[in-house]
Amino acid sequence: MDCMLKESCYYASAVSDGELHVGDLIHYDYNWNRYVRQMLVPGIGRKEQERLKNASVLVIGAGGLGCPVLTVLSEAGLGRIGIVDGDVVEETNLNRQFLYSPSDLGKNKAACAGRWVKAFRPDCRTSMYTEWFTEENGASIMEDYDLVIAAVDRVPTRLLINQMAVSLHKPFIDGAIDGFYGTVTAVLTKESPCLACMNPEGKEPLHVSSSLGTTTMIVGALEAQSALMYLAGIPSQNGSVLSYDGIYGTLEEIPVKKNAHCRVCGNRHI
């Protein structure tokens, strides 16, 4: 299903098994009352909330990291969310991918996650792309969003997202996890080092990354927070790696230098 509705604040009330019934479009107003406590946070007032209301984020991956990312973005009042995932819900996902239940087994993740967002936030414009993010379709999907979040586990896909985001001048936030550990990398300006600066050879881990629900929730929430701060105009992490250690409960921001000869973001490619 490809529910790419451009109308402001419209929702297809009858979305069932991948079918969109266009005749059931309903208009929903933005509910400012939801965000009263959020707007009491220093640095987040009406102006910043208005920015979030008008912003759009593409979330690539609706799995262990994508579930908390989508939850936080929805709760915070983001105006538009795109969800990309060609995978289906499997039983092994249910230890950490909390947007799904046993009744969703075998169903597409983007479609299921999109239905959750629309049920929770009817005023959020939500687009579901029930396909894998590839070199062929990536640019056309990504170009219409203000910011991109990668919530995928395979290094080649993360590097492809990074390459397209740099090429399209889109701010980009990447997350990765393995057991009790995780990282968040923000590539928000052309001066920022990108993922290819840090992994020029595109090396994959030598083992299948393990997934713990607490780690995915924390790292996914940190990805979403970084996105929200950037979109609201609040100074945030940029050009560094935020490293999470779940054993000791610590966060460390690791500075990274931009590689002038990077094959993606180096001087000759900008």
Q: So what CATH class is 10-269?
A: alpha beta
pLDDT of residue 264: 93
Q: Residue 106 above 50 pLDDT?
A: yes
Other C-beta atoms closer than 10 Å to the C-beta of 203 total 8
What are the boundaries of each domain within the chain?
10-269
Please indicate whether residue 105 or residue 8 has the higher confidence score (pLDDT).
Answer: 105
Please indicate whether residue 204 or residue 119 has the higher confidence score (pLDDT).
Answer: 119
Three-state DSSP class for 22? helix
Q: Residue 29 above 90 pLDDT?
A: no
With residue 26 as reference, give the H or E element that holds it. Answer: strand 25-27
Beta carbons within 8 Å of 209's beta carbon, 6+ residues apart: 153, 176, 177, 178, 179
Q: Percent of the chain at pLDDT above 90?
A: 76
pLDDT of residue 202: 65
What pLDDT band is residue 40 in, cutting at 50, 70 and 90?
very high
Q: Residue 80 above 60 pLDDT?
A: yes
Torsion, CA 106, CA 109, CA 113, CA 115, rounded to 10: -50
Other C-beta atoms closer than 10 Å to the C-beta of 169 total 10
What pLDDT band is residue 95 in, cutting at 50, 70 and 90?
very high
pLDDT of residue 268: 47
Q: What is the spatial distance between Cα 36 and Cα 16, in angstroms, rounded to a whole number?
A: 33
